[in-house]
């Protein structure tokens, strides 16, 4: 058991450059097991008979639109990633390099999550580990800086319209976003104190530092901020549209409104795909169907829609992610050889 544990710990800690075919296949197997187990569990809760009945007649025309939404979301994230990377004299990734990093970071074969991978890519580009960590956290903050206000506005609209709040989902966004923003603004005034504390206080300090850096990147005269915000907005909009198209494939009538869908989507993504290990395999499949149920979607069509959505959102991206990983490894080897030749 000790040898197995050491081997698994080594697999988790391994740099992305050291991931060979075995590690990739192991990661895909783990992700597939987690996703399948979660979906089967939710399908059992919904009733296998009802799920099978809903599965009988999908409307296939919506699936190409779901694919288009997924492609748009990746292009948007590519823009945001590249703009934030090169802000404040950061590395000016070529489009091909940034594309490989984005595609690979969303791959299921990142056992520590896409942000850990992003930090390694930044370091390979010559950024110091501390600066790379700040930039990657800034990318994470930007994700929620776009999604959270959208969920707040959608929840507030539903409340004004008198839509029933199931499970307090709407209220959690209406209260949580302003309170979280206010707390963050208060803590920013004292962020230097948190750097001298324990592990939790230092984690808070790192979040606050990333927030300040992101704010500086978004303010004039920095011109990268607008592109980053627009790109991240396109990312979320494209991904939500992909989910909506998958819902339309199994729900010809009674689909949730756009506001309800945004609230359900944001609730199901308590943590983003890039934050979670294995691109959120298992976690998203377990949470998102219930989040959709809380905004009025039946659990049976919700689990089928999430299954289809994850085919586009999680499994099809493996196709560009695998060569993306290989391209990054080759690029690092070329850079290392050039550095040795120059020395």
pLDDT, one tens digit per residue, over 225-265 is: 788 899 999 999 999 999 999 999 998 777 888 999 999 99
Length of the chain: 343
What phi-psi label fits residue 140: left (phi over 0), alpha (psi between -120 and 50 degrees) or beta?
alpha
Query: What is the share, in percent, of the chain residues with pLDDT greater than 70?
Result: 90
Q: Where are the alpha helices (DSSP H) in the chain?
A: 2-13, 21-46, 48-55, 62-86, 95-105, 114-124, 129-160, 169-188, 191-194, 199-218, 224-250, 258-268, 283-294, 299-310, 318-342
**Is it the case that residue 15 has pLDDT exceeding 70?**
no
Tell me which H or E stretch contains 18. none
Torsions phi, psi of 167, nearest 5?
Answer: 70, 15
Q: Which residues of 325-340 are buried (b: 16+ CB within 10 A; e: fewer)?
A: bebbbebbeeeeeeee
Q: In the predicted model, is pLDDT for residue 339 greater than 60?
A: no
* Whole-number Å distance between alpha carbons of 20 and 30: 16
Measure the CA–CA gap between 338 and 340, rounded to whole angstroms: 5
Question: Higher-confidence residue: 283 or 166?
Answer: 283
Residue 311 has pLDDT above 80, yes or no: yes
Q: What is the mean pLDDT of residues 4-9?
A: 60
What local confidence, expressed as pLDDT, does residue 140 receive?
Answer: 86
Structure tokens at 152: 């707040």
Average pLDDT over residues 52-62: 88
88 vs 301, residue with greater confidence: 301
Taking a C-beta distance cutoff of 8 angstroms, is the pair 133, 300 a contact?
no
Query: CB–CB of 71/78 below 8 Å?
Result: no
pLDDT tens digit sequence for 104-134: 888 777 777 777 788 888 888 788 888 888 8
> pLDDT value at position 306?
95
**pLDDT for position 5:** 60
pLDDT band at 47 (very low <50, low <70, confident <90, very high): very high
Q: Where on the phi/psi map is residue 197: left (φ > 0), alpha (ψ -120 to 50), or beta?
A: beta
pLDDT of amino acid 7: 62
- The residue with greater pLDDT, 22 or 65, is 65
């Amino acid at each position: 058991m000790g040898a197995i544990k050491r081997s698994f710990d080594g697999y988790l800690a391994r740099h992305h450059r050291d991931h060979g075919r075995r590690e990739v296949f192991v990661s895909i197997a783990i992700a597939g097991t987690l996703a399948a187990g979660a979906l089967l569990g939710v399908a059992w809760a919904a009733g296998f008979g009802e799920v099978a009945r809903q599965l009988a007649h999908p409307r296939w025309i919506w699936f190409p639109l779901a694919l288009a939404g997924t492609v748009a979301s990746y292009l948007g994230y590519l823009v945001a990633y590249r703009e934030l990377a090169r802000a404040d004299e950061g590395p000016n990734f070529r489009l091909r390099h940034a594309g490989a990093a984005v595609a690979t970071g969303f791959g299921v074969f990142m056992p520590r999550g896409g942000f850990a991978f992003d930090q390694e890519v930044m370091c390979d580009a010559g950024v110091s580990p501390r600066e790379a960590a700040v930039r990657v956290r800034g990318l994470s903050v930007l994700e929620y800086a776009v999604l959270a206000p959208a969920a707040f506005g959608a929840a507030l609209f539903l409340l004004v319209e008198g839509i029933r709040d199931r499970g307090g989902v709407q209220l959690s966004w209406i209260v949580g976003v302003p309170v979280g923003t206010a707390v963050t603004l208060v803590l920013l005034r004292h962020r230097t104190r948190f750097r001298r504390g324990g592990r939790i206080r230092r984690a808070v300090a790192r979040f606050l530092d990333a927030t300040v850096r992101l704010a500086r990147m978004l303010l004039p005269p920095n011109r990268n901020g607008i592109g980053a915000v627009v790109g991240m907005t396109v990312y979320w909009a494209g991904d939500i549209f992909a989910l909506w198209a998958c819902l339309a494939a199994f729900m010809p009538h009674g689909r949730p409104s756009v506001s309800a869908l945004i609230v359900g989507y944001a609730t199901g993504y308590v943590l983003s795909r890039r934050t979670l290990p294995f691109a959120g395999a298992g976690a998203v499949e377990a949470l998102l169907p219930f989040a959709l149920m809380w905004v009025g979607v039946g659990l049976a069509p919700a689990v089928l829609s999430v299954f289809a959505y994850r085919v586009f959102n999680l499994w099809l991206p493996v196709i560009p992610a695998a060569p993306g990983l290989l391209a990054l490894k080759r690029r690092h080897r070329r850079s290392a050889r050039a550095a040795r030749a120059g020395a």
